[in-house]
Amino acid sequence: MRYSMSQLEEDVRNEYIELGILKPSQIDMHMIAEKLDIWIFHHDRPSRMAKISGMYSIVLNNNLSPEEEWQDFSHELGHIFRHYGNQHKMINMFRNLQESQANNFMYHFCVPTFMLLKYNITNYSNIKDGVPFIAKEFGVTKKFAKKRLNLFRRKIEQAKFDETFQDFMTPKKAAPYSKETKAILSKLYQQLEAKGVHK
């Protein structure tokens, strides 16, 4: 199967490679924030991102589990990487679009595709089999792991469909002729040449 990464999946992979992170055990929210020069604070209000005097900060709700903190951090990081300006001054349609984009980023940043592809989970016919593994391996909640695996499975199924369709649409080369067929064709060509008809 030829898996073709989306631009987001490639961007996430490249960011992790630049950070020197190649496997889930190396993922550390605080180390990522330090390398990206982002301050992390905790507060009793909903998680959010802020830019103060040119410096980015992520404020995380202090009632979250470590898994939920990681997910919220990644969501807010999506805003830092992808969005500019003050969301609160935007009309709802654009704010909703940015929230959707940050959520999509979050799923791919918390559980990167280039890491998922290294595991033999593409063969799981039942998502439930992969949920505990992904939750533990990537430090996310089981609900999050289920959603991410569903996204991944849909992409795998699309890749398989695309490959099947491509194979169907690609013209097939004729198999090499047998000795008998070659002998018959040779006689036919000789007869045509004898009648003055060229190959």
pLDDT in tens, 151-187: 998 888 888 888 887 777 776 666 677 888 888 888 8
* pTM exceeding 0.85: no
pLDDT in tens, 7-61: 999 999 999 999 999 999 999 999 999 999 999 999 999 999 888 888 899 999 9
Percent of the chain clearing pLDDT 70 (strictly above): 87
What is the rounded CA–CA span in Å between residue 35 and residue 44? 26
Residue type for 125, please? S
Domain ranges for the chain, please list them.
Answer: 7-169
**Is 98 strand, coil or helix?**
helix
